[in-house]
Amino acid sequence: MKENEIKQELYALLQQIAPETEPSALAPDENIKESLDIDSFDTLRFIVSVNEKFEIEIPEEDYGKITTIGLLTNYIQKKM
Amino acid sequence: MKEFLMPSLGADMEDGTLVEWRKKPGDPVTRGDIIAEVDTQKGLIEIEVFEDGYVDKLLVDPGEKVPVGTAMALIRTGDSETGQEKEQGLEFPVSEKEKVVLQPTEEHFDEKPLPQKFPGKRIKASPLARRIAEENKIDLSKITGTGENGAIIKDDVNKAIEQRTAPETEEKISETLPEKEPEKIADSGKSIRMAVAAAMSKSNREIPHYYLSKKIDMSKSLYWIKESNKERSVQERLLPAALLIKAVAKSLDEVPQLNAVWENALQIKNEINVGFVVSLRSGGIMVPSINNADLKSVSQIMDSLNDLIPRARAMKLRSSELNSSTITLTSLGEGGADTLLGVIYPPQVAVIGFGGIIEEAWAENGMLGIRPVINASLSGDHRATDGLTGNRFLTILNKNLQNPEDL
């Protein structure tokens, strides 16, 4: 899957969790959680949806490595 | 035959608009079945029936705005089948809490302080009369009461409404007629805001709060969650909130005075049903209840959160999930403010608040270290309990969070 396709999928997943936001406006190095004002419950839901969409396992200790769209896209590419 | 009444979903709810009957006359119903869908300030709520039997008659049409406590349907119960039928109108649900919020529809008397317009003077009036007067902007001080000890009753207020000048009367009466068309479902954010405003104003007006807080070292709890999550799939992972809910519920086993309601006296509840505050992205909060939280495992509480939070955010909760809580827990989660001092949700007598978990310098046994720390607070109703009780609760809560494996 190409980088851009991954990003589009991520935007769609974030949109489901925070419908009133525009995830595509996030800069690649912007903190997703802080910028979209997502709480820990919705963060977990987002990680579950990433896990299901891309069929990759994300251990809890990796949460700190996937805080931005740029980092998360790279992470997914490496795991797929 | 029993009457099925519009239930109260909290101290702040006055009425609801029937959207749809899910049962029709002749249908069998068992306790817990959804009988109707009602639009309230808290969204579209599925209302459950509390009897086993058959629907005999539906008394309200979809679109009607129905005050809390009004009969909506007649349920033929098992008794009526065998001819032992009894009229037991007000038997409907259960909780002591509802008896209080149902009061405004009955004619009885109290002496509430008047609005500020009449400082220092009290007028005796039934709550129903008071409500009708308020809705019709009738000044109670200009009415002579004909009820017990000169109390103003519903008929007195209605007479005063009739005695207004003709055009005005017409206008006002048309306003009080039941509305046949469904009210436009108000902008949900705004109506939730109003519901929160009503409940919190009542709380601040009536409940003398006291506040206590305690810093709790969360190292052991967070380590336990981390280790536990290593063995779980991402779908089954735990959040600290689930552990906090369990720890609070277990602590209440030892300090039952806080798991109670205040209705002229302290009434301790047997079930520990923890209302969990869910903030809505559009503003406002919903407080679904995790029932019997002390009897559930941390995993089961997490399952409840996974089920309840998305439905609370979509405003799709059941009546039993909104009106059964016996205490409230509110947690800010990560980041943000350190301390949260909650406002009690009447008629409950306590709210437990958790700030964000932050790293702090921590001195213990003469040593200094860095620990993840949470600030736990208790807002208590001083009519019901004292600081000593609150102090005991926070001490036990701390002990429980130091032994997460026992939760």
**CA-wise closest residue to B54 among B92, B32, B81, B21:** B81
Domain A3-79 matching CATH 3.50.50.60: the answer reads no
- A51 in reach of chain B (CB within 8 A): yes
- B358 in reach of chain A (CB within 8 A): no
Q: Residue B229 is nearest to which of A18, A37, A60, comparing CB atoms?
A: A60
Q: Residue A39 is nearest to which of B230, B234, B333, comparing CB atoms?
A: B333
Query: Which helix (H) or strand (E) is B310 found in, with range?
Result: helix B298-313
Task: Identify the CATH assignment for B2-105 out of 3.30.930.10, 1.10.10.10, 2.40.50.100, 3.10.129.10.
Answer: 2.40.50.100
Which residues does residue B267 pair with via DSSP β-bridges, in sequence order? B261
Say whether B281 and A34 touch across the interface (CB within 8 A).
no
DSSP state at residue B257: G
Structural domain B188-406, CATH architecture = 2-Layer Sandwich (3.30)
Model pLDDT for residues B277-319, shown as the tens digit of each residue: 999 888 889 999 999 999 999 999 999 999 999 999 988 899 8
Model pLDDT for residues B164-184, shown as the tens digit of each residue: 644 444 444 444 444 444 444
| Higher local confidence (pLDDT), B251 or B110 | B251
Contact indicator for B352, B329 with CB cutoff of 8 Å: yes
Give the integer Cα–Cα distance in Å for B403 and B247. Answer: 10
- A45 in reach of chain B (CB within 8 A): yes
ipTM of this predicted structure: 0.90
Interface with B, mutate which of A35, A56, A60 (most B CBs under 10 A): A60
Interface with A, mutate which of B281, B309, B331 (most A CBs under 10 A): B281
Three-state DSSP class for residue B280: coil
Say whether B226 and A60 touch across the interface (CB within 8 A).
yes
- A17 in reach of chain B (CB within 8 A): no
Contact indicator for B122, B113 with CB cutoff of 8 Å: yes
- A55 in reach of chain B (CB within 8 A): no
Residue spans of the domains in chain A: they are 3-79
Q: Residue B113: what pLDDT? A: 41
Q: Which amino acid is at B33?
A: D
* Residue B187 binned pLDDT confidence (cut-offs 50, 70, 90): low
Name B306's Cβ contacts closer than 8 Å, sequence gap at least 6.
Answer: none
**Arithmetic mean of pLDDT, B92-99:** 41
Contact indicator for B77, B84 with CB cutoff of 8 Å: no
DSSP state at residue B275: E
Q: Which of A29, A39, A42, A62 is catalytic?
A: A39
Q: Which of residues 292-321 of B touch A (CB under 8 A)?
A: 305, 309-310
Give the integer Cα–Cα distance in Å for A45 and A38. Answer: 10
Model pLDDT for residues B325-381, shown as the tens digit of each residue: 999 999 988 778 999 999 999 999 999 999 999 999 999 999 999 999 999 999 999
Q: Do β-strands B71-77 and B2-5 pair in parallel, antiparallel, or remain unpaired?
A: antiparallel
What CATH code is assigned to B107-183? 4.10.320.10
Residue spans of the domains in chain B: they are 2-105, 107-183, 188-406
- Decide: residue B84, CB within 10 A, 0-12 exposed, 13-18 middle, 19+ buried: exposed
- A66 in reach of chain B (CB within 8 A): no
Backbone angles phi, psi at A69, to 5 degrees: -60, -40
